[in-house]
C-alpha cells in the first residue's frame, strides 16, 4: 500500500494532523534555508557626537538614518594625554623662565560644583609635578569674586608672570580671567580662583564661563 492509499484511508482529523506536520516541516526548512533573496546586514557606525545607522545590502551601502546625540558639555571629561603633555611642557618652560623667583600658584575654587572641584584637582596635579604649586581641596569658598569666571591674584610687579602662567595652562583651561595685583603679596605668589561653570570638550579641555 503506497502513501497516497494510506492517506485516503485516514479519517478527517488524521488528515488535518498530517497537513499540520507538513506545514511545520516546511516552516523549519524556510528558517534554516532562506530563499535566494539578499539579506540586509545592519551595523552601526559611531562618530563623535553622532550615531549613524546603515543598511548594507552587498555590494552597496545605503544610509537609512542619522541621530545626533547631544552630549552634556558640563559633565566632567578627563584630560587627554595630548593636552596634559602640552600643559606640562609649557609649565616646565614657565618654571625655567622664572626659576630665580620660584613662583608658587595656589588653586582654589567656589563650592557647589563638583566638576569645578575636579578641574582644580587636575590643574593642581600638573602644578605639583612641576613644583609650581598645588590645589587646595579644603579651601572652598562661597560668594567670592562673583563677577568673573576665573580670578588670578598676583603679587607686586607680577602681571607679566601672571600672563605667562595663563598662557601656559591655556591648552587645558580658558575663560574670562580677572587679574588682580595685590601689592602686599610677594612677587612670586599667585592664587587662581575658579568661580564659573566648567564646559568640557571631547579632549577634556575646559572653558569656565
Neighbours of 116 (CB within 10 A): 21
- 14-37, pLDDT tens digit by residue? 777 777 788 777 776 666 665 554
Burial 169-189 (b: 16+ CB within 10 A, else e): bebbbbbebebeeeeebeebb
- 65-100, pLDDT tens digit by residue? 554 444 568 889 999 999 999 999 999 999 999 999
Computed over every residue of the chain, the mean pLDDT equals 81
- pLDDT tier at 57, thresholds 50, 70, 90: very low
Upstream peptide bond of 101 is cis (omega within 30 degrees of 0) = no
The pTM score is: 0.65
Amino acid at each position: 500500500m503506497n502513501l497516497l492509499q494510506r492517506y485516503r484511508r485516514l479519517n478527517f482529523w488524521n488528515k488535518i494532523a498530517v497537513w499540520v506536520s507538513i506545514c511545520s516541516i516546511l516552516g523549519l526548512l524556510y528558517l534554516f534555508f532562506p530563499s535566494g533573496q539578499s539579506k540586509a546586514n545592519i551595523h552601526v557606525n559611531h562618530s563623535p557626537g553622532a550615531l549613524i545607522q546603515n543598511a548594507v545590502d552587498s555590494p552597496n551601502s545605503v544610509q537609512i538614518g542619522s541621530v545626533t546625540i547631544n552630549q552634556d558639555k558640563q559633565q566632567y571629561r578627563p584630560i587627554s594625554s595630548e593636552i596634559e603633555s602640552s600643559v606640562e611642557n609649557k609649565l616646565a618652560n614657565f618654571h625655567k623662565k622664572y626659576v630665580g623667583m620660584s613662583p608658587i600658584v595656589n588653586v582654589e575654587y567656589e563650592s557647589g560644583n563638583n566638576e569645578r572641584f575636579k578641574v582644580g584637582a587636575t590643574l593642581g596635579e600638573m602644578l605639583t609635578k612641576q613644583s609650581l604649586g598645588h590645589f587646595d581641596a579644603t579651601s572652598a569658598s562661597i560668594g567670592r569674586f562673583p563677577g568673573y569666571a576665573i580670578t588670578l591674584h598676583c603679587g607686586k610687579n607680577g602681571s607679566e608672570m601672571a600672563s605667562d602662567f595663563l598662557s601656559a595652562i591655556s591648552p587645558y583651561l580658558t575663560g574670562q580671567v580677572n587679574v588682580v595685583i595685590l601689592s602686599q603679596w610677594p612677587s612670586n605668589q599667585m592664587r587662581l580662583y575658579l568661580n564659573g561653570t566648567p564646559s568640557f570638550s571631547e579632549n577634556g579641555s575646559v572653558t569656565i564661563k
